[in-house]
């Protein structure tokens, strides 16, 4: 075992090393956006979502769709429900004060890809959603968090999305991606039990201009993967790290972050039995701040920071534990 240490290199070299250390995320596996039902206005989209069943494809034409759109029902593993469109297809709530722009509500085997989600108190909310993919979206201009997996939403993939300008209504909850529910809200959403939003993959996302963390992983969640994402903390006003981990058994690997007011990655124990058995490996933290690349505030013997992580511009060094 060797002590974690700060790697001091010129900034240009640091960025080059950082870029080459993060592998490309696997390409989206969402089915091609073709066939099915073409929609071109909000009313048509609402009808198509209500009628969707196994094998349905809903194709958005370019244009602006204003409303709070709800996706329910289930596809199957071989016949998923597809909602797709180009970036120029823009779903907007028309406000950042209330509502969800797109709500996956007890959805299963949905594949959502390509288009823009703008505004809403929350951009994309997934409640009790399983076996679904949210890929290649642009999510921007939300009042609170951009994308939230909540209420036992498990076995989903959130991949290759661009998230920006988040939290202008309530900066303290202006996260880019939020997994699970804080223990203080379990009685509201999960009958006073942990929100088991488990085994989710968060991969290849580009997250910037969030007022709170780029990614917040809550107590109650287990077995997820946070891999090969890019975080830019410029503009964070209500967070002191890009990533806050409070769940169990998460793999945090290959992520690239720049600019934080304190640390790059943090781990916390909010509740006994949580914040355990997480592994940080191959991450590159260009912190440009006063803290650590990786800061384990507790449970230091039950979490691991490997020596494959790198930190640049972190005044306190790579981590507050020995790498191994």
**pLDDT above 90: percentage of residues in the chain:** 90
Q: How many CB atoms lie within 10 A of CB 97?
A: 11
* Residue among 175, 113, 168, 118 nearest 150 (CA): 175
- Return d(Cα 137, Cα 49) in angstroms, integer: 18
**pLDDT greater than 70 at residue 9:** no
Region 79-92: mean pLDDT is 98
Least reliable range by pLDDT among 19-33, 64-78, 146-160, 306-320: 19-33
Region 220-233: mean pLDDT is 98
* Residue among 153, 130, 297 nearest 221 (CA): 153
Query: Cβ distance 116 to 110 under 8 Å?
Result: no
CA dihedral 233, 234, 238, 240 (to 10 degrees): 50
- Return d(Cα 43, Cα 45) in angstroms, integer: 5
Domain annotation for the chain: domains and CATH numbers? 11-319 (2.160.20.10)
Region 209-217: mean pLDDT is 98
- Return d(Cα 48, Cα 45) in angstroms, integer: 5
**Residue 290 token pair:** 């006063």
Question: pTM of the entire structure?
Answer: 0.91
- Return d(Cα 307, Cα 302) in angstroms, integer: 16
């Amino acid at each position: 075992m060797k002590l974690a240490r700060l790697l001091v290199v010129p900034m240009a070299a640091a960025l080059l090393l950082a870029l080459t250390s993060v592998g490309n995320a696997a390409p989206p596996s969402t089915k091609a956006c073709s066939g099915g039902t073409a929609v071109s206005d909000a009313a048509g989209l609402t009808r198509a979502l209500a009628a969707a069943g196994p094998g349905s494809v809903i194709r958005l034409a370019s244009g602006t769709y204003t409303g709070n759109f709800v996706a329910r029902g289930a596809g199957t593993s071989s016949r998923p429900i597809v909602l797709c469109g180009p970036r120029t297809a823009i779903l907007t709530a028309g406000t950042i004060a209330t509502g969800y722009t797109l709500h996956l509500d007890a959805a299963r085997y949905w594949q959502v890809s390509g288009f823009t989600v703008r505004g809403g108190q929350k951009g994309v909310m997934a409640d009790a959603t399983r076996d679904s993919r949210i890929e290649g979206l642009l999510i921007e201009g939300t009042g609170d968090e951009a994308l939230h997996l909540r209420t036992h939403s498990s076995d989903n993939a959130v991949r290759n999305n661009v998230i920006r300008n988040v939290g202008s209504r309530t900066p303290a909850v202006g996260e880019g991606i939020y997994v699970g529910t804080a223990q203080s809200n379990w009685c509201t959403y999960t009958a006073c039990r942990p929100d088991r939003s488990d085994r989710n993959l968060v991969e290849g996302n580009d997250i910037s201009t969030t007022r709170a963390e780029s990614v917040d992983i809550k107590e109650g969640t287990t077995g997820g993967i946070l891999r090969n994402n890019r975080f830019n903390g410029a503009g964070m006003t209500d967070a002191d790290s890009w990533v806050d981990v409070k769940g169990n058994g998460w793999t945090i690997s290959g992520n690239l972050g720049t600019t934080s007011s304190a640390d790059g990655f943090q781990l916390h124990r909010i509740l006994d039995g949580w914040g355990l058995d997480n592994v940080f490996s191959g991450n590159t933290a260009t912190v440009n701040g006063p803290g650590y690349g990786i800061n384990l505030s507790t449970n230091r013997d039950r979490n691991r920071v490997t020596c494959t992580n790198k930190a640049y511009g972190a005044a306190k060094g790579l981590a507050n534990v020995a790498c191994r």
